[in-house]
A and B are shown apart, each in its own frame.
Chain A
Amino acid sequence: MVTVIIILTSVALVLGILIFVVNRVVPVKVKGIEKTEAIAELLPGMNCGACGQPGCFAFAQALTVNPDLMAQGKCAVVLQDEEKCEALQDCRGITLDTAEMSKKALIHCNGNSEVMHDYTGVETCKGAALLLKGYKKCFYSCLGFGDCQKACPHDAISIRNENGVAVVDAEKCTGCGLCVAECPKDLIELVPVSAQVTLLCNYGQLKDIPGREKCDFGCIHCRKCFKSCEFDAIVWDKERAMPEFDIAKCTACYKCVEVCPNQTLAELLKPATIQA
């Protein structure tokens, strides 16, 4: 018993000393590594992988070689942090249009569609979407199993259980875009952080009006919001018969939100229809 403890301890001790010695003896200086490490310091370090690299250090290495990667908005997380972003710009000698590039995710659904049938299969949105395009009457509805929630490295997405819809917390969302590909209904869109108004519906078909039969809060394509806007910030998308927002022109007067007969339009920071 005692011998075992002594043997194990001494071997561990020897190995520890060996690591220490190797750490001291082998020279630290490697060409270019300081620069990479300095950049890695400024990256978020959460290794979310949204940039397409296996981790933050790998991204820092790619940045060392090619500073333009940052300008392509690969790392959305660092754009949220002004201090780090500025330091990074100084470090790599680039300028970034942060206001233009930093984004947040929006889910274009209010989840109020009626349930068509009970679904007891695999509890993922992708699984549910395979069967009759989902268990809700509206084919475009959020299915609320939280595939996007699982993909989110920042815990920004939650599921409102009362109507089974995913909601993005605009404060926590960094706009990394990992959730966008997860949604089988393509409900998630990345919009500039300055966006103030959102349309909580994705029913882009002219044939029938979901507001009448499928969902109490669907877009009924009435164009009231388009007509009410005094700043030309809403463009009418004729193909999908839905309003599109020109974020740069929006002054956040919320007139369109007021006139919307179905409360489909919502102020972004206070998604009223969802909380109700």
Chain B
Amino acid sequence: MNNLIMIFISMALVNNFVLARFLGLCPFFGVSKKLSSAFSMGIAVTLVMLIASIVTWVINNYILIPYGVEYMNIIMYILVIAALVQIIELFIKRTNLTLYNALGIFLPLITTNCAVLGITLINAKESFTLVESIVASLGGGLGFMLVLVIMSGIREKLNLADTPRAMKGLPIAMLVGMMLGLTFFGFGGIV
């Protein structure tokens, strides 16, 4: 149990996907303009991470390791994640159009999100068990969502602030990202 909590906190805060591992930076800047879309992006990423890490754990342990072809994991995971996201998208589109609209363009975008591929590769590298993988992916996804929501909250306020003209928009967002990164380094001593 202690171990699981450790993994969760490590994934969510200390080794945060965006601010410490620098994975999934495109949604960090691209989808952090509005709080609502940042929130739905975070949920979508967490969901896909969770499912992807379960499936890739199965594939890793029952296909790749027994045949000794672990070096194939990147291409295998890309294939599996892409297909999975397709299936999930299909499913959501047919069953719940409101949710589909809320997730909108984000779901297909996640297909090529490095954070999702990252969690599966980290799981494989650390040789986590199934439960550990699930906890790690939940922690990673929620940490990703946390950063995205914080960032979008700040950026919404930044729109109202008196920013110098040359710094408006992305430049000031980069600076805010830098400061967020520094604050998250404060978690470094926990684990």
Contacts and interface: CB of A to CB of B under 8 A. Distances in A.
B97 A19 contact: no
Contacts of A58: 104
A15 B83 contact: yes
B87 A19 contact: yes
Given A7-B72, A8-B75, A61-B101, A26 B83 contact: no
A248 interface: no
Nearest to B100: A30
Contact of A7 (B63, B90, B94, B97): B63
A245 B141 CA distance: 58
A81 to B, nearest CB: 25
A19 B97 CA distance: 19
A22 B69 contact: no
B97 A8 contact: no
B22 interface: no
Interface in A197-215: none
A61 B104 CA distance: 12
Nearest to B83: A15
Contact of B76 (A11, A19, A54, A55): A11
Interface string B125-146: 0000000000000000000000
A61 B98 CA distance: 11
B90 A19 contact: yes
A154 to B, nearest CB: 22
Contacts of A12: 79
Interface residues of A, number: 23
If over half of B's interface residues share one DSSP class (helix, strand or loop), that class is named, otherwise mixed; here it is helix
Classify chain B's interface size.
20 to 34
Contacts of B67: 3-4, 7
B79 A27 contact: no
Contact of A32 (B75, B91, B97): B97
Nearest to A130: B166
Interface string B80-98: 1001001100110111010
Contact of A8 (B76, B86, B94, B95): B76
B131 to A, nearest CB: 24
A66 interface: no
Nearest to B82: A15
Contacts of B69: 3-4, 7
A18 interface: yes
B105 interface: yes
B59 interface: yes
Contacts of B87: 18-19, 22
Interface in A20-65: 22-23, 26-28, 30-33, 54-55, 58, 61
A26 B95 contact: yes
Contacts of B93: 30
B72 A30 contact: no
Nearest to B79: A12
Nearest to B95: A26
B80 A11 contact: yes
Nearest to B88: A22
Given A15-B83, A22-B91, 15 more contacts: A3-B69, A7-B63, A7-B67, A8-B76, A11-B63, A11-B76, A18-B83, A19-B87, A19-B90, A22-B87, A26-B91, A26-B95, A27-B94, A30-B93, A32-B97
27 contacts: A3-B67, A4-B69, A7-B69, A7-B76, A8-B72, A8-B75, A8-B76, A11-B59, A11-B80, A12-B79, A15-B79, A15-B83, A16-B83, A18-B83, A19-B83, A19-B86, A22-B87, A22-B90, A22-B91, A23-B90, A26-B94, A28-B94, A30-B97, A33-B97, A54-B104, A54-B105, A61-B101
Interface of B: 59, 63-64, 67, 69, 72, 75-76, 79-80, 83, 86-87, 90-91, 93-95, 97, 101, 104-105
